[in-house]
Amino acid sequence: MATEVLVPVLGESITEATLGEWLKQPGDPVKADEPIASLETDKVSVEVPSPVAGVMGAHAVQPGDTVSVGAMIATIDAGDGAPAKTAAPEAGSTTAAAPAPAAAPQEAGGNVDAAALSPSVRRAILEHGVDPATVKGSGKDGRLTKEDIVAAASNKPAAAPAAAPAAAPAAAPVAAGGERREERVKMTRLRQTIARRLKEAQDTAALLTTFNDVDMTAVIEARTKYKDLFEKKHGVRLGFMGFFVKAACMALKDIPSVNAYIEGDEIVYHDYADISVAVSAPQGLVVPVIRSADQMSVAQVEKTIGDFGKRAKEGTLKMDEMKGGTFTISNGGVFGSLMSTPIINPPQSAVLGLHRIEDRPVVRNGQVVVRPMMYLALSYDHRIIDGREAVTFLAALKNAIEDPTRLLIDL
């Protein structure tokens, strides 16, 4: 007796998704509630659990297919899956024991079945020339992620120079004719949504970006002095984002239009600050929301961001955690960005871009000194935020970061 696996309810107003990857192949044993497939929605990846224990049956759809809520995507057969692992060899085979060693690469590199790898992982394998069987997966259930492939590629030893004369003829065909390949990979639903929303923001809002820089000396000193005590007491590392989120909340109170948005012919103001924080995930950039960040301590902010980052990598962020938000902070500095002009996250009216910290010469009290400096960028909708307000917001943020005591006494 086979049990149908149906696409679960994905959230309010979401009626369809894209099958990202199969986590179980036909014949694999499955437990009740064990994830068997991953679905990609407009915002997050959602795992589909098995409704019963048994053996994975036939796949009704393939990775990349669009499926509707309630649609049947697979079946679960009764049994424990043992026959699938002890299937008899084909008649006439003289190497019945040969298949056993073939399992070794799969154990070393996690799930290396091409059908089970996500498109981004397959693309990374082709780009970097990495054998997936030699890579240990860090994803859920040991699955390979794009980051695993990139890390393995960076750790590969450099190709040794050709010492033997026999090596020269082998390289000749590539140099002469070259093997130029192209691959077409369908955009994930998340990437399509990101592309559409960014283009909508450019087409709808009157975007403008203003810049400032901030001296990070005081924050770095505070972090160095208290990071060990902070981690011991709160169980989380003290980073820079906690300071910037709190400083942004304080500046948003002073300049409420930066925390507002346009709806029709009205301006909607908020007396709270729900801060969207851009987080990198294997499928692309996701933006979970820190609710009522203005009411949180730095420790609570750091714990929330750490949890978001971990679950974004695992693909377990919930749909409700991605909704709303009144202001966004995007930290391109973690990737080495010096300066950028971020695009707002509609319907929000502003986004703060943080960048890398680097030592630069600045003038202090008539003397040229070296200070750890960071560029700040505020992109905003000029329809609702005037230049004076944007500059004032950045100045307030700068003052709070350069003198963190202001965060304690709300100045």
Residue-range domains of the chain with CATH = 3-82+105-155 (2.40.50.100), 207-409 (3.30.559.10)
Is it the case that residue 212 has pLDDT exceeding 90? Answer: yes
CA–CA gap between residue 27 and residue 83 (Å, rounded) = 8
Is pLDDT of 88 > 70?
A: no
| Residue with token string 């394998």 | 125
Count of Cβ atoms closer than 10 Å to residue 195 Cβ: 12
CB atoms within 10 A of CB 21: 21
Q: Which of 131, 228, 254, 386 is catalytic?
A: 386
Question: Which tens digit of pLDDT belongs to each residue from 24-53?
Answer: 888 889 888 888 888 877 666 778 888 888
Assess whether 386 carries a catalytic annotation. yes
Residue 22 near residue 37 (C-beta atoms within 8 A): yes
Which range (86-100, 188-202, 318-332) has the least confidence? 86-100
Cis peptide before 89 (omega within 30 of 0): no
Q: Calculate mean pLDDT across residues 137-144.
A: 73
Higher pLDDT, 40 or 203: 203
Collapsing DSSP to helix, strand or coil, 321 comes out as helix
Angle at 129 between CA 125 and CA 132, to 5 degrees: 50
Lowest mean pLDDT of 128-137, 199-208, 296-305, name the range: 128-137
pLDDT digits (tens, 9 = 90+) for 276-312: 998 877 666 788 999 999 999 999 999 999 998 888 8
Share above pLDDT 90 across residues of the chain, in percent, rounded to a whole number: 36
Task: Note whether 243 and 405 are within 8 A (CB).
Answer: no
Does the annotation mark 359 as catalytic? no
Give the active site residue among 274, 382, 403, 410. Answer: 382
In the predicted structure, residue 346 carries a pLDDT above the cut 80: yes
pLDDT on residue 406:
77
State how far the Cα of 63 lies from the Cα of 145, in Å rounded to an integer: 16
Q: Which residue has the higher pLDDT, 76 or 258?
A: 258
| 18-32, 224-238, 382-396: least confidently modelled range | 18-32
Average of per-residue pLDDT across 403-410: 76
Please, how many CA atoms are within 13 Å of residue 304, restricted to the half-sphere of its CB? 22
Task: Answer for the pair 130, 149: CB distance below 8 angstroms, yes or no.
Answer: yes
Longest dimension (CA), the chain: 90
Task: Convert the pLDDT of each residue in 231-243 to its tens digit.
Answer: 999 999 998 999 9
Out of 140-149, 237-246, 340-349, least confident range: 140-149
DSSP state of 240: S
Distance CA 175, CA 124 (A): 23
Q: What are the tens digits of pLDDT across the range 102-116?
A: 333 344 344 455 556
CA–CA distance, 258 with 75 (Å, rounded to integer): 51
Range in 7-11, 66-70, 386-390 the model is least confident about: 7-11
Q: Determine the average pLDDT of the residues in 245-259.
A: 95
Listed in order, strand segments (DSSP E) in 60-143 are 66-68, 72-77
Q: Can you read off the two tokens belonging to residue 3?
A: 């049990």
Asked if residues 329 and 351 have their Cβ atoms less than 8 Å apart, the reply is: yes
pLDDT at 186: 76
Is pLDDT of 378 > 50? yes
Global pTM exceeds 0.75: no
- Residue 98 pLDDT more than 70? no
Distance CA 95, CA 89 (A): 9
Residue 177 burial by Cβ neighbours in a 10 Å radius (0-12, 13-18, 19+): exposed
Predicted local confidence at residue 105, as pLDDT: 38
Q: Taking the CB of residue 351, how many other CB atoms lie within 10 A of it?
A: 26
Q: Please report which confidence band the pLDDT of residue 316 belongs to, taking 50, 70 and 90 as the band edges.
A: confident
Burial letters 22-55, b for 16+ CB under 10 A, else e: bbbeeebbbeeebbbbbbbbbbbbbbbebbebbb
